Amino acid sequence: MADVVGPDEVAARSARYLRARTGDWLAEIGRISMMIGEMLTTGVQRLPSLTLVVQQMAAIGVDSLWLVTVVSVFTGAVAAVQAAYQFTSVVPLKFLSAVILRSVVIELGPVLTALVIGGRVGASIAAELGTMKVTEQIDALRAMGINPVRYLVAPRVIAAVVMLPILTIYADAIAIFGGWVVATTSVGVPSPTYLQGLREFFYLKDIFSGILKAVFFGGIIGTMGCYSGFQTEGGAEGVGKATTSAVVSSCVLVLVLDYILATVLFRVVFK
């Protein structure tokens, strides 16, 4: 017969579990902060190689273009269909492009781009660095007197911070194009009306907000990918866990930070 545990014991066990988990999270935050600190201090002492940064920009940005294109064109298309459905008999369709523009530029463009790049690039960075860790390549760098944070982490984080805003601007344009295709071909909005809506509701602060979010999201994706890779232990199983951890933590942090930035930007800065 299974042991019966009383409510006091359940409460005590829950408290112990919560204390242990809180300790783990704090330790994790501490380690991430130390890695960021080391990246900044070593980066100031000696700038990361431009060649490495450009290589990473190509891997993170150029190689992700096809994925961002597909995601964005359908994001715009779905936004057009959904908005048209919700506007029915309530809002004139001439506002369709304005809704697509502002929702894409402020929210959908940066967040969806960050989520797909977090999946593709975060996983790839964590798997690459995790494999380097378990095959002693990171130890080999240290043994040569090369700081692995400066050599491996800094170029990836810089590349992600630079490329995410560029990909986001590209994603915005493609999504608005996707919305235009659906609006003009199946919803019945004339092309001049769609374009006029874009012109009338184009605000620089919206673009700025989206780009600022993308900068932070790039930092999260690069940092969490590298951090998870550096924490890898064991063999193939460890690399798998690091990859999953990089994607999950990037996506969760992107959404949490999205809320924080939205609050700061639209309730404080642009109020």
Partner 1 sequence: MIEIRDLARQLGGRRVLDGVDLDVQKGETLVVLGPSGTGKSVLLKHIIGLMQPDRGSIKIDGEEIVGVRPNEMDRVRSRFGMLFQSAALFDSMTVGENISLPMLEHDRAMSADERERRVRERLEWVGLKGVENMKPASLSGGMRKRVGLARALALDPEYILYDEPTTGLDPIMSDVINQLIRDLQAQLGVTSVVVTHDIKSANEVADRIVLLYQGKVMFSGTPEETATTQDPMVRQFLAGSSRGPIQPV
List of residues contacting partner 1 (CB under 8 A) = 45, 128, 132, 135-137, 139-140, 142-147, 151
- Residue closer to partner 1, measured from CB, 90 or 143: 143
For residue 69, give both structure tokens: 């294109």
- Residue closer to partner 1, measured from CB, 55 or 196: 55
Q: CA-CA distances (angstroms) from residue 105 to 55, 69, 145, 176, 184?
A: 28, 15, 45, 9, 20
- Residue closer to partner 1, measured from CB, 63 or 200: 63
Strands (E), the chain: none
The phi and psi torsions of 46 (rounded to 5 degrees) equal -150, 120
Cβ 38 to partner 1, closest distance in Å? 8
Cβ 142 to partner 1, closest distance in Å? 6
CA pair distance 150, 256, nearest whole angstrom: 28
Cβ 122 to partner 1, closest distance in Å? 18
Cβ 223 to partner 1, closest distance in Å? 20
Q: What is the DSSP letter of 88?
A: T
- Residue closer to partner 1, measured from CB, 54 or 255: 54
- Residue closer to partner 1, measured from CB, 37 or 190: 37
196 Cβ contact list (under 8 Å, min separation 6): 94, 97
CA pair distance 197, 216, nearest whole angstrom: 29
- Residue closer to partner 1, measured from CB, 140 or 181: 140
- Residue closer to partner 1, measured from CB, 220 or 226: 226
> How many CA atoms lie less than 13 Å away from 218 in the CB half-sphere?
25
Cβ 39 to partner 1, closest distance in Å? 13
What's the farthest any 2 CA atoms get from each other in the chain? Answer: 76
Would you tell me how many other CB atoms lie within 10 Å of the CB of residue 117?
29
163: part of which helix (H) or strand (E)?
Answer: helix 154-182
Cβ 55 to partner 1, closest distance in Å? 9
Cβ 44 to partner 1, closest distance in Å? 12
